[in-house]
Each structure stands twice: as structure tokens, then as C-alpha cells.
Structure 1
Amino acid sequence: MDAKTLIQSYFTAFNEGRTDDMLALLHDEVEHHVNEGQIRRGKALFAEFNAHMTESYRENLTDLVVFANESGDRAAAEFIVNGTYLKTDEGLPPARGQTYRLPAGSFFTLRDGKIARVTTYYNVADWTRQVSA
């Protein structure tokens, strides 16, 4: 599968709530660089993160544009996160079912036909403003 198709498959699985399919696209030694957080290494920690996110947030990504370099070992995606804050996350404002809409981007390193690094960025201050309104 080429780089763009791999990344599009990852985001399709995300939008459809198929976290096991997302995990299948990851390299065993995946590094997950979280926005303003610690690096999580390995599929097990990525799966834990997904479980937590599924419990606390319901998100759908729209306006997805995927980019890849010519050698197919790096890719990026730009999208809009359309979400609902379901359960209060530690250190964040209380959840009351607030909705939010954020531009975001993800960057990927690809190795052996799998995603070996995921780095996602979005504006935390904007998210906080939206869910605190």
C-alpha cells in the first residue's frame, strides 16, 4: 500500500471507530508524539491512549488532505477535528457534552509498510476556550 493510501486508511479507521484496524497499520515499535505530552512507544501504549480517548471524546475528522514525500517514508495530513467532550479528562475543564471544532495536523514516519511515528498538533488553548464557553 502506498503512503497516501496507508494514511487515508488510518484516518478512515479512526472515523469509523475501528481502533483495532488503526493498530494493525502501526509498526510494532511505533512512536506516538502527543500534542503537549510525552512520547508513547509501542502499540500497547497507543492502544491505551485510544481507549482513553474513546471514553472521553467522540471525534470525527473532516476536510482531510494527505501529503506524502516521493520516497514514501514520510507523510502528513491536515484536517478538522469535530468533537464532543464526553468525560472529564484529568487537568482539563469539566466535560458537559460540549462540542468543538479544531484545525489539526498529523505527521508520520513510515517503515516496512507501517506507520512508525505519529505526531499530532492542534491548538490546546483554542480547544480549552471552546469547551469552557
Structure 2
Amino acid sequence: MNDPRQDSLSLLKRYYDAFAAHDHAGMLACLDEEVEHRINQGAVERGKQAFAAFMAAMDRAYEETLTEMVLFASDDGTRAAAEFRVLGRYLETAEGCPEARGQRYDLPAGAFFEIRDGRIARVSVFYNAADWVAQVS
């Protein structure tokens, strides 16, 4: 018998393993076609194409490794969360942000997920943007 909580935790593990491997196709395979992506202190984007474009832009501007990963899931498997640290390097100036000069940063962060039919239907990522700006300024 399937355990919905464990299924969701396995899905998040695959998603973050793909992130660590810079495997965008692997990340996209974990997402619902109409995934809702709530960007930290930014827009809400929908769909795998928008998510793929976001990841491509992130790869140009940032080099990031996630550490201290802890995954959580509700008993029914419909909600999940991740807590982690982002160790990064700022490579290319992002619009409205300080100039990139290869600065390093270390941020605590978290993400919340909605899981539907074995896929991630919503991703909401949170970190302290003011802390990031202070570290790269």
C-alpha cells in the first residue's frame, strides 16, 4: 500500500536531486503541466515553460548549492515543505539588483509545495531578500 506522505517526500527528493545536478529536465518531470510558481517577493508564474525560462535565467545569474536540506510532508501527501541554506555566487546582474561581481552569499531559505496526482502543482520559495542584497552589495 502506498504511503502518500512518503510519496511526496520521494517526489521532493527527486526534485532537489535534479536541482543539485543542474538537471532541468529532471526538475520539470516533477512538475504538473500547469505548475504555479510563486517567486520570492515577486510574480506568480504558471506552467512548465515559464518555470523552465525562470531556471535558465537563474543559471545565468547565480551559482547555487543547497545544504542542510530538511523535507516535510503532510500525512495525506498534498502539502510539503523544504528548509535549507543557499550557498551561492552572484554571476550576472539581475534587473533591479546590485551589480554582480562574483559575490558569495549564504541564506537560510524555505519552500512550500502543493502536490497533486504525484506532481508538484505549486512551488512557493521564501528567503530574506534584504539579507541577500546586504550580502552582495
- Secondary structure in 2 matching 1:93: coil
Match in the other structure for 2:31? 26
> Is residue 125 of structure 2 the alignment partner of residue 125 of structure 1?
no
- Secondary structure in 2 matching 1:90: coil
Q: 1:11 aligns with which of 16, 19, 25?
A: 16
The alignment covers a number of residue pairs equal to: 132
Q: CA deviation at 1:17?
A: 0.5
> Is residue 83 of structure 2 the alignment partner of residue 78 of structure 1?
yes
TM-score, normalization by structure 2: 0.95
- Secondary structure in 2 matching 1:53: helix
User: Distance in 1 between the 2:117 and 2:33 partners?
Assistant: 10
User: Distance in 2 between the 1:19 and 1:101 partners?
Assistant: 23
Q: CA deviation at 1:131?
A: 0.4
User: Which amino acid in structure 1 is aligned with residue 87 of structure 2?
Assistant: N
Match in the other structure for 1:109? 114
Match in the other structure for 1:38? 43
State percent identity of aligned pairs. 54
Match in the other structure for 2:3? none
Moved beyond 2 Å, runs of 4+: none
Q: 1:50 aligns with which of 55, 69, 88?
A: 55
User: Distance in 2 between the 1:88 and 1:29 partners?
Assistant: 29
What does the per-residue CA deviation read over 1:52-105, in whole Å, with 9 as the maximum and x for residues that have no partner?
000000001000000000000110000000000000001000000000000000
User: Which amino acid in structure 1 is aligned with residue 116 of structure 2?
Assistant: R
User: Distance in 1 between the 2:73 and 2:87 partners?
Assistant: 24
User: Distance in 1 between the 2:63 and 2:21 partners?
Assistant: 11
- Secondary structure in 2 matching 1:121: strand
User: Distance in 2 between the 1:104 and 1:39 partners?
Assistant: 18
User: Distance in 2 between the 1:12 and 1:58 partners?
Assistant: 16
User: Which amino acid in structure 1 is aligned with residue 11 of structure 2?
Assistant: L
- Secondary structure in 2 matching 1:65: strand
Q: 1:91 aligns with which of 96, 99, 102?
A: 96
